[in-house]
Amino acid sequence: MTVVVRFARQAGLIALFVGAALAGTLSGVLFAYSDDLPEVSALDNYAPNTITRVLGKDGQLVGEFAVERRVVVHYDDIPLNLRQAILAAEDGGFFQHAGLSISRMMLALARDIFSRGNVPGGSTLTQQLARNLFPKTIGFDRTWERKIKEALVSIQIEKRYSKPEIFTLYCNQIYFGHGAYGVEAASQLYFRKHVKDLALEEAAMIAGIIQANVRQSPYVNPDAALRRRNYALDRMATEGYITGEEASNAKAKPIVVAGDPAGDGSPAPYFLEEVRKYLEAKYGAKALYESGLTVSTPLDLEVQQAANRALDRGLRRIDKHRGVFRKPGRNVLAEKHTLEGFRHDRWSRPIAEGDIVPAVVMAVDDRQATVRAGRLTGELNKAALQWTRKTAPSSILKTGDLIEVELVKIDTDASTATVNLVQAPILEGALVALDNRTGEVRAMVGGFSFARSKFNRATQALRQMGSTVKPFLYTAAIDRGLTPTTILDDSPTSFDAGAGQPAYTPGNYDRKFQGTMTLRRALEQSRNIPAVKVIDMLGPPQVAAYAQKFGFSQPFRPFLSMALGAQEVTLIELTSAFSAFPNHGIRMAPFSVLSITDRAGTLLEESRPTPRDAIRADTAYVMTNLLRGVVQRGTGAAANALDWPVAGKTGTVDDYTDAWFVGFDPNLTVGVWVGYDEKKPIGPGETGTTAALPIWIDFMQAYVSLRGDRENPPSFEPPGNIIFMAVDRATGEPAIDGAPNAVTEAFLSGTQPVRELRY
């Protein structure tokens, strides 16, 4: 008995000594690392880097800016199936432990030693959260120091926060690959849906890939993603969250992700860049990329897509007219790819009839070329290459060339397509659409390709405006007493240019002269000589000052040559100026941002329409009526096929360097410019009528289909002091309604011609 007592006493002393040693060691560890540990209380104001989201007219996503793509969610936003999947896959005992799990640490040690089987990771959710929240302090190195710091911080987190709070922090912080942080961003990345809408198998996949994110992403390694998803489902069944049958049914479903992790890119990159520059200038880069602003804009994404398509097809059409095929810039064989193994990013996104996509030349001879675009194959015969003016495909293509083709028709069953050869044009262009009543930007395209050039030709390019200047000159004339029936003279004329200067002798586009004509006809046919004579009649300084009322940023030079449009303007300011005509003489300043809120939903700013008085409402209506004639009988007559109330004006600069068309209906004003970045001819005969107007028409056709009401079309409402009268189009004399050459003319009250009374 004495021996037992002595042994127990010695054992107690040893235990006391070991305990004291452990306590001392622990105290030493705590003392050694306490100064280096982060302040966990900082999480009280948890504000991680989040996505700045730019939204369109109906809340549609236009684009995002972020260092870390993250959308913070609350605990109740995380669906039960995802909570259970994460717990099962990562930390089944989360709600029982105090931040550390000895059993899991032992299992992890065994796994590291024997490298067998799937066992839960050694770190609890709290430990994973600790090192992800404080990477600079704790780090990710596999060292004892990191483990100790991680454990100490985990204990502090558990003491300060509830389990739901810790779990929510974890779900918002963890990285899921491809730039996505947090479960909401992961759900959007992989399935294009909100996290609350995830199905069981989708939730299990997201939970499963936490362990190695990118390496187990379904975009990178579909087999690994499938294994991890099924592992998460099995663990859910083991933990009792779901039945074995539910797990089996979910495991039988394929992983169906939502496309390309790089995304399709913004449908409005030029517009988005304008917004980005505004935000960075006003709020700074940190707020832009880290603070999760929500930016509401007036951009209409469906209308924007129509603008993209219209400009793309229009520039390609003009390029085809030139008949010059340029050597392909890439050859996949030269890049050491195989013909069968090459993959292009575009092929991972949906492909439909009418699309223009990259294709690889698989074989080519003098009769035809075989091409592949993803799983589709097609044949380019001589007819498909006819526009190149070459008869043999082998004379312009070689095996391995990466080219562009238009998918005319697709046979899904046979995985074949009828294709035409196309190419990216060198030519540039721009399109902008503004709401007449507010000035809101509805669509903006600043060039053929944002990837090729980020220079925004809608807002940054100053180009000569050509004959689009004429409506502003004639507006001054109408306000100074001239009428649509005023007779002007289109005859050769020389004007005194001042002492010691040669006489100024302008000419017309067609180098012809038509003699006397009405002001209406002079505008509809875009004659130069009558416009110069109007400026000479009114005085260049007065006309230049009048044009400035329309909001142009640079003053007009007060010379007779104003009539030829030598003035340089941007497309957006020219489009804005035209919008004053259908808006009763009031020009609304263009703007792209409606409101900005911070991550807490606090309103930072809100924009409202800014009206600018340009001209009188009655003068604006007379000009609108004149510009309607341009699309009914003049240089814009092709637009008459729209069968829609529209008006507008063409513009062509000398030597065909710039082509314009700016037009409007009662609700929208749209401007189109076509040209090269350097000042050189577009091509022979490429005028505003032939180059810019077809793009405008294509866009307006889509716009009317999307937003128009054919049964109840809008109308241009006249002010009360407008007098309508039938006049002879050629002479301007009063005519009988319905007469062959009669047009219904609008006059300011008191300026209409007097009918001759006959007895």
With residue 83 as reference, give the H or E element that holds it. Answer: helix 80-90
Supply φ then ψ for residue 404, to 5 degrees: -115, 140
Give CA–CA dist 461/445, Å, rounded.
13
CA max distance for the chain: 152
Query: What is the H or E stretch that residue 722 is in?
Result: strand 722-728
Burial (Cβ within 10 Å: 0-12, 13-18, ≥19) of residue 501 = exposed
What is the CA angle 686-562-434, rounded to 5? Answer: 65
How far apart are the C-alpha atoms of 530 and 615, rounded to whole Å? 22
Residue from 90, 184, 686, 745 carrying the catalytic annotation: 90
Query: Is 467 tagged catalytic?
Result: yes
Q: Which of 154, 217, 467, 579 is catalytic?
A: 467
Handedness of CA 58, 60, 65, 70 (dihedral sign): positive
The secondary structure of 434-469 as a DSSP string is: EETTT-BEEEEE-SS-TTT----TTTT--EE-GGGG
**90 labelled catalytic:** yes
Exposed / middle / buried, residue 50 (Cβ in 10 Å: 0-12, 13-18, 19+):
buried
Contacts of 330 (CB under 8 A, 6+ apart): 401, 402
* Owner of token pair 């960075």: 280
Query: Is there a contact between 270 and 408 (Cβ–Cβ < 8 Å)?
Result: no
Secondary structure class of 142 (helix, strand, coil): coil
DSSP letter, residue 175: B
Taking residue 340's Cβ as centre, other Cβ atoms within 10 Å add up to 8
Contact assessment for residue 572 and residue 673, using Cβ atoms and an 8 Å cutoff: no
Q: Catalytic amino acids?
A: 90, 467
